[in-house]
Amino acid sequence: MDRQRKEGGAAARRNLFEGIPEELPEELMTILATGNGVTIERIVSKGQASPEGFWYDQETHEWVLVVQGEARLRFEGEEEIHLRAGDHLLIPARARHRVTWTPEDRETIWVAVHFS
């Protein structure tokens, strides 16, 4: 059956679509892997967006991929970008940006890789 469970540690397989609660009052962040200055995380959104007037301003680069769902993201001074499943982009360090919309009726699943 599920032999992988027996292998443990190194080869521990997990699934991106598992472990998501029905209700998501806040975005769910799950670290998937970390290394030397690198963090790979799953973000699950369901209707959340950045607060009005709030801009992310991060010290590290962030590569994001929308695996499921969709979202709208805006860099300061630029047009909104609509992201759909499979869309990915690099948010450079210090590029001020905000998430302006995610759908309320289904989960949007992101993979984000933070690196310097």
Contacts of 9 (CB under 8 A, 6+ apart): none
- Binding residue for its own copies, selected from 22, 23, 25, 35, defined by CB under 8 A: 35
Q: Give the integer Cα–Cα distance in Å for 38 and 112.
A: 10
Does the protein bind its own copies through residue 28 (CB under 8 A)? no
Three-state SS at 7 = helix
Min CB(73)–its own copies separation in Å:
8
**Footprint of its own copies on 40-79 (CB under 8 A):** 40, 61, 63, 65, 67, 75, 78-79
Locus of tokens 């030397």: 36
Q: How far is Cα of residue 55 from the mean position of the Cα atoms in its chain?
A: 16
Chain residues binding its own copies by CB under 8 A are: 3-4, 6-7, 10-18, 32-33, 35-38, 40, 61, 63, 65, 67, 75, 78-81, 83-84, 86-92, 95, 111, 113, 115-116
